[in-house]
Amino acid sequence: MTGIIRPAKRVARRAADAAVRHTQDAVDLLRRGERTVLRTPHAGMRLGNLLYLWLQAHLRSALGRPVRVLESRGMGEWWDAFPRLRELSVTADELRFSDRREWEPEWLYQRYGVDFTREQLHAFIDDALAPLLVPSAIDARLVINVRRGDFYGTEFEPKHGFDVIRYVTAAVALFPDATAALVVSDDAEWCRAHLGGMLTDRIGDVAYADPDPLANFLAIAGAEQLIGANSTFSYWGAYVAGRRHPSARIVMPRFMARMAHGSDAHQLDPRWVALDGFH
């Protein structure tokens, strides 16, 4: 689900993006077209963050003015899986000089109840995601999503790292009747080593999904019982699971990341159980 980009390359890329945006901001004053394009970094945004941009394009287009998301690296595989997302995007070749450009770097259009409503979220899921999901693919097992990847062992750990072991242990206690679990993670070996014993003792039948982004997303989206992670990938799987199965039981950490405006996740659906602490 994640990859590691070396810090020096990441810093250089951010500096280059900042320079490009500074120039674009000056030119954007001349753009007066009907269509708005949500800008994206050339790389670094994965499915979870991108879906919030596609959601924004979808809901604002429904209000009467076309909005699209500018292509960035990694989008293609998701266009193949969910073709409606391609219709909400533009490539660099399709970009018009007259297109208005927009970028919101602080919140990334991710505030539940502020940047989008539940009704708008559900409309987007129904239109762009649900048609490609198997209607009967509801997993009765407890699905546990564990985000590792570049949140740990890199420069991102001070921002995103938290006590995953204590959190998952506390979350599992909320599902005392669970008799089978599927662990979905970008580091299944870490999960086996650090969570496997506890899960086997409490649940018994524990399986580990292979690290395949699309298959992992579909597994989370098909959960009837879900323990999520501090990850936009996890939030989106939970949004879809909750839409497809209204009585789904979903638990998330309230912690998202250490940011200037606080550490609480502003993406959480108020209907989910949010566990405090662990950071």
**What 3 state SS string does 172-202 have?**
HCCCCCCCEEEEEECCHHHHHHHCHHHHHHH
pLDDT score for 38: 96
- Here the tokens at position 233 are 């990938």
Strand 139-146 versus strand 180-185 pairing type: parallel
CB atoms within 10 A of CB 176: 8
Looking at residue 8, what is its pLDDT?
62
pLDDT score for 17 = 61
What does each C-alpha distance from 97 to 20, 38, 56, 60, 94 come to in angstroms? 15, 14, 21, 21, 10
pLDDT at 85: 97
Among residues 242, 230, 214, which one has the least CA distance to residue 118?
Answer: 242
Domains observed in the chain: 7-131 (no CATH), 138-275 (3.40.50.11350)
Alpha helical stretches, state H, the chain: 7-28, 47-62, 75-81, 83-87, 118-124, 157-160, 164-172, 188-194, 196-202, 213-221, 232-244
Whose CA is closest to 198, among 230, 165, 163?
165
* The pLDDT value given to residue 74: 87
Closest CA to 20 of 42, 36, 46: 42
Give the C-alpha separation, 131 to 83, whole Å. 10
Q: Distance between CA 108 and CA 195 in Å, rounded? A: 32
User: What pLDDT, on a 0 to 100 scale, did the predictor assign at position 4?
Assistant: 43
**What is the per-residue pLDDT for 272?**
98
**Alpha helices, H only, 108-184:** 118-124, 157-160, 164-172
Block mean pLDDT (10 aa), the chain, length 279 = 52 62 61 87 86 98 95 92 96 94 90 97 95 69 95 91 96 96 96 97 95 93 96 97 93 94 94 94
